[in-house]
Amino acid sequence: MTALAHRVSPDPDAGLPDLPAVEELDRALRNAAPADIIARALRTVGREHLALVSSFGTESAALLKLTADVDPAIPVIFLDTGWLFEETLAYRDTLIARLGLRDVRSIKPIEETLSREDADRELWFSDPDACCRIRKVEPLNRALAPFRGWINGRKRFQGGARTAIPVVEQDAGRLKFNPFANVSREEIAGIYASADLPPHPLAASGFLSIGCMPCTSRSSPDEDARAGRWRGRPKTECGIHTAKAS
Ligand code: SF4
């Protein structure tokens, strides 16, 4: 298949620029430093069309710091599912102030959808994929609608479906940038140390990866960081990286 076949074509009605071939960009950035990948994403997609998606979890401050250094006004989308730890909400506010993030958008599920599909708040137990769909996937699709590209913090060392992620990939009609694809856990710790970034308040309690309360448990040091997510279930991803955003 030619590179042209992988050219990302935005909605013609949106009046947005065409974007370069995904493979070409991935090849160019394969060994680039995370800050250079973020800067290139900004130049490629354009100031008005790039967002970052962050969970404000245990490793999120590193990517937020590098992004804020490039441009603190890049919109940051945060999915406030209605099931988050209070500590995560507080950490979001701490990092907004600390890093000078100027456009953090806390996106909530639609109340009407919650009333109709999860009135008793037990969907996380009976059908976690449906719960993630109404609380994460659909809200993210809405939030990303104005954007042509997005940045996220997945790493290959997280294992599972993340082992082989490229630096740049196509996500429906958008470019998706993974500046930390090649980065090690030690390098992330180094960013925290050199910038004196505060840890997530729950990190010291053994939470190595933090999502929603009912679906997050502590991990032991000999487990993968994400072992505490949906523990005891076959589910390993919420769907925002596996379901194609529209
Ligand atoms: S992580 Fe759990 S509580 Fe959060 S949206 Fe998914 S299933 Fe629901």
- Taking a C-beta distance cutoff of 8 angstroms, is the pair 129, 235 a contact? yes
214 lines ligand 1 (CB under 6 A): yes
Rounded Cα gap, residues 29 and 177, in angstroms = 10
pTM (2 d.p.): 0.90
**Centroid of ligand 1 to alpha carbon of 212 (angstroms):** 6
Backbone angles phi, psi at 77, to 5 degrees: -95, 125
Tens of pLDDT, residues 138-164: 999 999 999 999 999 999 998 888 899
Region 76-88: mean pLDDT is 98
For ligand 1, say whether the CB of 210 is within 6 Å of any of its atoms: no
Strand ordering across the sheet containing 174-177: 104-107, 76-79, 50-53, 149-151, 174-177, 168-171
Task: Say yes or no to pLDDT of 7 above 90.
Answer: no
User: What values do phi and psi take at 93, rounded to 5?
Assistant: -65, -35
**Which residues have a catalytic role annotated?**
238
The tens digit of pLDDT for each residue in 13-43 reads 444 456 778 999 999 999 999 999 999 999 9
| Closest to 92 in 3D by CA, of 76, 81, 70 | 76
